Each structure stands twice: as C-alpha cells, then as structure tokens.
Structure 1
Amino acid sequence: MTLSLDQAGRQAWQWLEAASAFSETRDSVREGVTRQCATDEHKALLAALTEWMEALGMTVRMDNAANLIGRHASAEPGARTLLIGSHQDTVPNGGKYDGMLGVILPLALVLYLRENDIGLPFHIDVVAFSDEEGTRFSSTLLGSKVLAGTFEPEMLEAADDNGVTLQAALEAFGCDPARIPQDRYRPEEVVAFLEAHIEQGPQLEHASLPVGVVDAITGIERHQLTIHGMAGHAGTVPMALRRDALVGAAEVIRLVDALCKETDDLVGVVGKIENAPNGVNVIPQTTTLSIELRSPRDEVRRRARQRLLEQADAALKSLGLAFDHSQTYEQAAVQCSAWLTATLEEAVRDSGVEPQVMFSGAGHDGLAMVDLCDIGMLFVRCREGVSHHPSEAIEPEDLTAAVEVLVHACRRLASGRPPA
C-alpha cells in the first residue's frame, strides 16, 4: 500500500499538534509554547520523537548536547548522510511551529519514502537540535555547534536564572559533556544540511506561495548606546536650556528607522530603552538604548553602522549631549550553497510551484552548520508572518507542499542531476 503526499502532510500536522503539548505553558493564562533546553518538557518531547522515529524504522540516539538524532538508513554501502532538522526549543510563550516544523517535516519525508519503498544512496539523519534560541542559558546554536565541531567548552559555564549551569543541566539530562567533542560529524561523511522553517515574515503569504527557497541567512549586530544629558526640574528649566537624554534617544530612534527604510536589504530595531532618573517630573539624565541591525549582506550592514554612528554623533552634539557606544554582538551573514539553493528551486518547480528566492532575516542553525557542510533552507508560509508568538499559524496543505518539495529534492540529490 502506497502513501500519498497528502497523507504524509496530515501526519505531519498531527505530530506538530502532539509536540506542542510538551510545554511549560499549557493553559489559558500562560499562552503559547515554552520549551527550554534540558528541561522536563524537552525530555518528554524527546521521548515522543523517539517513539515516532522508531515506528518509522529509524535508529535513534541522543548525543551529549541533548540533540536527538534519528537515522533513516540507506542500503548503499559507504553511504554519506544528508542532515535535515531544526531546533526543539522555543522562546517564552512562543508558537507551535518555529523550530518544530523543521523537525517534523523530515519525519513526514521519511514516512513517505518508507511507505512508498523509495531507496536513496545516502542516509537521512533527522536532527532535533537541543538549543538554538538560547532562552535558558543564552547559549545560542548550542546543538548545531556541537554537530559542526565548533562547540566551545566555555559554554558549559553559562547559568540559567536559577544558577544551574549548562554542564549541570546536561549531566542531569543524561549527557556526558566531556564527550561532546566526539559528537561532531566529519565533513567527508555529510552530503549537506537542509532545514525547513516557517518564514517568520509575510512575503510568501503576500505572493500566495506555500513555500520559498532561502539563499542567505542574515548577518546580525547589536549595540548599546548610553546618552548623557543633565537632570533638572521639569517645571523650572527652560526648554531651550535643557539637555534631555531621552530627547536625544528619540532622535537616534528616528535615525535608525529612517536609515533602515531607505537602505535595501537592511532592517533594524531599537528594542530596549532604560531611562534615568525615570521620574515623571525630572528631565532624563541618561538613556540607554539597544540597537540591532540585520542584513544578508555584511557590507551593507557595516556601512549602515558607520553611517548611523556618524549621524547619531552629529545629532546628539547639536542637542548638547554626549554618548558612550559599545558593540555587544556580531554574527556574519551566511550564504546558502548555490548548488543546493538551485536544487531546492528545481524541487519547488517540480512540485508545480513557482520558486521564490529570498533571504532569512532571522538566525537559524545553518549559521553554525555552514562550518561543517553546504547548507540549504526551505521556508514554509506562515499566517500574517507572525512568529515568536502564540498566534503563530500555518495552513495544513502547506505541509503537504513542503513534504513534496523535500521528496523532489532528495530524488534530485540521489540522481546527481545538476540544477537546470
């Protein structure tokens, strides 16, 4: 008996619904899905995934970073491995699909291949990465860095809000952190890494497309700006004589917004503001801002940074304000492999959909996996582009479309056909 693509898509939907129950937040007061690394919810999810994988005839293991890996084995001797997966962890009160969709879709792919007796000349390892978001330990890309061989032992010293270190949490989870270096894959063993993920934006919905192909993952940088003014009585200091730090902050926010709107392939946000003395009748003396810039082209992002700092310096000086600046984070953009992007484009076309190539404005496990192998990424449409929120939603039929694309991609990889 054969299995249809629609049946595989429906099974993916059922698995996603079941996975969403493994959450700290399961009631009407605490909405959404909250699942962090090395917690009871993580353990319960891995137990369910293990059951589902084993029912598909996969061999299953957990590595020492709490990644779960299920293998759909090839009959070919000396076969290499196609890695497909995403992360199981969520942001607080997140949605059902960010991360988990990329774990479940390859299981639906394996189901389809198995039930239709489709053999491949490579293994498929489905990976549920333990921690991409970094919610608990601020240790972003933990799971993928381990597989890529770029894990830094210092990450084990990071502690959560209760003082539990990552090392202690992994040990309590049944892992042996000292053996993490042995869990890396070798480049010669791997075909490539593929990740399916909800778009987390509105472009596919606006284009009425179920899926899209990602050709780059954005570069990110973050800054802290502390603006220094002079506190004073809000009723007695004349407006022309004020040195109001918050007014300066408002000007910087305007500059960030204007720069990003007028620059192609650039987005940015001022996401956090701290104001002091923060009194209702006191002129603000210091205001601290976080500034984040993102672009799939590092040169665009770096030029924007320089221009923003020059504009902020001129604007704040004109207001009689000084400022301190520090860059707190930088992650270079990552380009998806051209041949793999082209393969996914053809797989989308094979599925009867016009391929749309786009960049990801969010970070993903591919940022780490690129140090191991070529990477490719498939986006799945999400309703109104909402993500990192309980109202995150997808359409069931888009799961079927995504499974079909993965099937065609595997067939193309198996045949060795170059992209058209």
Structure 2
Amino acid sequence: MALLTGVAPDRIAAAARRVMARCEELARVSATPGEIERVYLSTEHARVNRLAAEWMREVGMKSRQDAAGNQLGRLEAAERGAPALMIGSHLDTVPDAGRFDGIVGVLIGLEVVRLLRQPGPGDTWISPFPFALEVVAFSDEEGTRFGKALLGSSAVAGTWEKEWWALADKDGTTLRQAFLEFGLDPARVGEASRRPEELVGYLEAHIEQGPELDRRGESLAVVSSIASARRFQLVVEGEARHAGGTPYDMRRDALLGASEAALAVERICASEHHIIGTVGQLEAFPGAVNIVPGEARFSLDLRGEFDGQRDQVWNAISRDLDTIMGRRHLRWTAREIHNAPAVMCAPLLQDVVREGIVSTLAPGSDAPATIFSRAGHDGMSIGAITDVGMLFLRNPDGISHHPDELVSGGDVALGIRALAESVLQLSADRTAS
C-alpha cells in the first residue's frame, strides 16, 4: 500500500538528479588527482563533512560533527527529544574508488527528509512522525587509512576499543595523532556513542556490490543480512638465498608458498555456498629480482552468510596452509585484524523496505528480490544498538570499489521513493501498535 501520496513525480526526479550531481561534486574532493580517494581524518574528510553539513541544513536539519568525526543531521519530531530513525551510510572511500559506494545512501537519506518533512514553528521544519529523523554520514567505513574498518560507526555503537589508538597509517601517523591533527579529542570519543533508547532503527540505501539485481533485471532489493567477516594478515617465512646459485631442492621460497596458499583459499571457498575468500595484498621480501624471497606477507578477507560456516572454512584453510608450508619447509603465522559477526536485518525493517519497494512496482509484479549482502556496511556496527534494515539499488555489471561503479538516475529515483515509503510504513506500524 503506497502512502506517499500527493508527491509529484517530477519532485522525485529532481531529487534523483540532485543526488547524481552531488555524487559528482563529492568525487572532485580527492587526495589523488584523477582518482577518488578520501580517507579518515584527512583534509578531504573535513571538506566532505562541511558539504554534508550544508546539505543537511538546507533540508531543515540541525547538523553537527560528533566526537569521532561523523557528520550528523537531525530533524526533530513535534515531541522534542523523541527517539530517532537513523538513515545513512558513509562518505570515505577506498583508493581509486567509484562515485556511489556509501555516498548514494547519505544523499538519498537527505532527499527522503526533504520529501517527508513538514513545516514547524516559524521558519523551521519538523519530522511528522512519532520519531525524529537523522541522517548520518559515517566517517570511516572502509578502513583504508588505518586498516580497521567501521571506525566511525563503531564509535556511534559504543564499541570503540582503546587498542585502536596505536593503529598507524602508511606514513607512521597513529590514529591518536590523526585525531588530534583533525581537531578531535581522543579522550572524548565516547561522546559519539548512542544509547539504544535514543533510536527506533537504522535504514541504509546502498548500491549492490555484486551483479544479482542486474542479472535479474530489477532495480531494488530487500537486504536480508550483512555478511560476517574476518580479516587476517599472514606471514610466510622461508630463507632468502641467491636466485642463481640455489638449486630447487634447497629453496625455501616464501613467495611460492604464499602463492599456493592464495590458490588454496580460492579452491576451498569456491566449494562452499555463500563463502567468499579474497587475497587482496601480497608482498615479497627482500624484494630483489635476484634473491629467492625469504618472507612473504599477504592478506585474507573471509566473508560468509553465517559465522559458523565462515569459521569452519578458516579452519579448513589453516589445515591446508599447514600442509603446504610443511611440504615446502616454510613457517606461517596469522594475525587477525578484523572480526565482525553476521548481522541479520530486523524482520520489521525488512517488511517496511519490502513494502517501500512494492510501492514502486507495477500492479501484479513479482515480489521484490531479497538478497544477502556479501559486502560489509556500517549497519554491522549499528546493529549492536538498534534494529537494522537495508535497501539495495542495482549496480550494472556489479562492479564496485572501482571507477566503473555505476547506478542510474532512474534507479536512484526509485530508491528515494522506496525509502521514503519505508519510513512512512514504519511510522504507520509504530502508530498502530
């Protein structure tokens, strides 16, 4: 049942054009000429926060930067201090990124507020619901600079760990130093945390970072859950020796051991349903053309729909690495740098998102797709304090974390309408109960 009546289609079309134009504007805020790169606590982070704050105020929200560098906007309900429905995503990027990952979700959230707000006292705007509306631009979902993902949303969830202060970027700047240089006080990071009673839920619109919607020929999908994830840094130790003078039966080539390990990851994960393993980094040391590598370091990103299945696959990979390294007379160690459990989207929020998508479809259409997210999102952190729901938008060819990442203005328009309908459905449900 569609609830968004009286809104002219041209308003939603204009909102979608604004989202697409602002994606281009944000793409020009980059640390790397000719590419898109914005990392946590950088000058580019500060610039996009200022833009987000301006756009939040434009739709009538009060905006603030929290103690972890997230930018938040709030539109109060008639009853001041009411709990809030949080809508958002992130503005940071990976290196050489696309224009839409995370960014679309923040901008769609702002357009939903623009559509749903009502006049308040004087020249103000208010939320017409029994809850306030908040839009959040999280500051560090990707973990590009310090190697730890979800820093911004972890602060909001109150799960910040003191050990993170020692994390350092490639230039040796620690997270603590970067906080201070950005103008934040490390001692006050706890002030970014929110209590469960302050929120009624969290909704996020995001491009699908895979091809399923494109293959189905559909624009939008309900997200059922967000993948569990574990990340490791692995080291293989062998012996560095002269490349010409060392026969094969005496070689303890760490790079070959690591390469065989990477192939084992592919073989094991490809045989499992809904388990994805990726070796995204591989380095050899000492790194000279005429030296057998004595050490190799590589990363492993392991994701699964369910925690137990993911952990079983890690155990299988570990056993294979024992075999490989034993046969090659090498040693291996692993350091876990990230562990996030799977987050199931709340049934109620799945329902309201589904109703929102249905409102965009022609009568008699098939039910919207329901998709498990293999990519991680800020909802993984926010799920610790409130219910989470997600809406996927089609991404032609499914490519992401790449300049060719894409979403169409038409699908963005559908996403805006669907998310606005979802908010209305949630309000109706809460009022009825």
Please state how far the C-alpha of 1:150 moved relative to its aligned partner: 1.7
Judge which range, 117-126 or 90-99, deviates more: 117-126
What secondary structure does 2:411 align onto? helix
Structure 1 position 365 matched with structure 2 position 387: no
Match of 1:15 among 22, 44, 59: 22
Change in Cα spacing, 1:282 to 1:135, as seen in structure 2 (3 Å) is closer
- Quick one: which of 67, 71, 75 aligns to 2:74? 71
1:139 is displaced (CA, Å) by: 4.2
Larger mean Cα displacement after TM superposition, 359-368 or 16-25 = 16-25
Distance 1:281 1:182 in 2: 54
2:286 corresponds to 1:291? no
Q: CA deviation at 1:246?
A: 4.0
Alpha-carbon distance between aligned partners in 2 of 1:65 and 1:282, rounded to the nearest angstrom: 45
Deviates more, 1:269-278 or 1:352-361: 269-278
Q: Distance in 2 between matches of 1:246 and 1:152?
A: 34
Q: Is 2:232 the counterpart of 1:215?
A: no
1:201 matched residue in structure 2: 210
1:169-318, aligned counterparts within 5 Å? Answer: 169-229=178-238, 244-276=253-285, 278=287, 280=289, 283-317=292-326
SS state of the match for residue 368, structure 1?
Answer: helix
1:282–1:364 CA distance, 2 compared to 1 (3 A):
same
Deviation at 1:22, TM superposition (A): 2.1
In structure 1, the residue matched to 2:421 is 408
CA separation in 2, counterparts of 1:170 and 1:250?
Answer: 37
Q: Is the 8 A contact 1:31 1:390 kept in 2?
A: no
- Checking the alignment, whether the CA contact within 8 Å between 1:336 and 1:376 is kept in structure 2 is yes
Q: What are structure 2's unaligned runs of at least 5 residues?
A: 1-5, 120-124
State the match for 1:379 in structure 2. 392
The residue aligned with 1:337 is 346
Deviations 1:83-116 (A, max 9, x none): 0111111112212111211110011111111379
Aligned counterpart in structure 2 of residue 325 of structure 1, from 333, 344, 350: 333
CA deviations 1:165-203 (Å, max 9, x no partner) are 444444444444433323322211210011111112111
CA drift of 1:153 comes to 4.1
Tell me which of 44, 49, 54 is aligned to 1:51: 54
Contact 2:350 2:389 in 1 (8 A): yes
Partner of 1:119: 128
Counterparts of 1:153 and 1:227, CA distance in 2: 29
After TM superposition, the structure 1 stretch with the greater mean CA deviation from structure 2, 213-222 or 114-123, is 114-123
Structure 2 contact 238–295 (Cα < 8 Å) conserved: yes
| Cα offset, 1:161, TM superposition | 4.1
| Residues 274, 120 of structure 1: alpha-carbon distance in 2 compared, 3 angstrom cutoff | same
What amino acid is the match of 1:399?
V
Q: For the Cα contact (< 8 Å) 2:66–2:191, is it kept in 1?
A: no
CA contact (8 A) 1:227 1:321 kept: no
Secondary structure at 2:279 match in 1: strand
Identity of aligned residues (%): 38
Q: 1:215 to 1:312 in 2, by over 3 A?
A: same
When the two structures are aligned, how many residues end up with a matched partner? 414
Please tell me whether the aligned partners of residues 32 and 389 of structure 1 are also in contact (alpha carbons under 8 angstroms): no
Is the CA contact 1:228–1:321 (under 8 Å) kept in the aligned structure 2? no
Q: C-alpha offsets along residues 283-333 of structure 1, whole Å, 9 cap, x if unaligned?
A: 55544433332112111111111222223333444x342322224233222
Is the contact made by 1:201 and 1:384 (CA closer than 8 Å) also made in structure 2?
Answer: yes
> Which residue is 1:131 aligned to?
140
| CA–CA separation in structure 2 for the residues paired with 1:155 and 1:85 | 24
1:106 aligns with 2:109: yes
Q: Conserved in 2, the CA contact under 8 Å of 1:214 and 1:378?
A: yes
Q: Deviations over 1:107-150 (max 9, x none)?
A: 11111113799832211100011222222333432221222122
Q: In the alignment, what sits opposite 1:24?
A: 31
Please tell me whether the aligned partners of residues 225 and 323 of structure 1 are also in contact (alpha carbons under 8 angstroms).
no
Farther off after superposition, 229-238 or 256-265: 229-238
Q: What SS is found at the alignment partner of 2:45?
A: helix
- Find the aligned partners of 1:21 and 1:60 in 2 and give their Cα distance: 23
Answer whether contact 2:239 2:251 (CA < 8 A) is retained. yes
Cα distance change of structure 1 residues 153 and 302 upon mapping to structure 2, 3 Å threshold = closer
Rounded Cα–Cα distance in structure 2 between residues aligned with 1:81 and 1:12: 23
- The CA deviation at 1:234 is 5.7
Alpha-carbon spacing, 1:17–1:231, altered in 2? closer, same or farther (3 Å): closer
Contact 2:40 2:140 in 1 (8 A): yes
TM-score, structure 2 normalization: 0.86
SS in 2 for 1:133: coil
Change (3 A) 1:222 1:159: closer
Please list the CA deviations of residues 254-281 of structure 1 after superposition, one character each: whole Å capped at 9, or x if unmatched.
Answer: 2211111111011112223333455555
Contact 1:2 1:115 in 2 (8 A): no
Deviates more, 1:42-51 or 1:209-218: 42-51
Q: In structure 2, the residue corresponding to 1:57 is in which secondary structure?
A: coil
Q: Distance in 1 between matches of 2:152 and 2:297?
A: 33
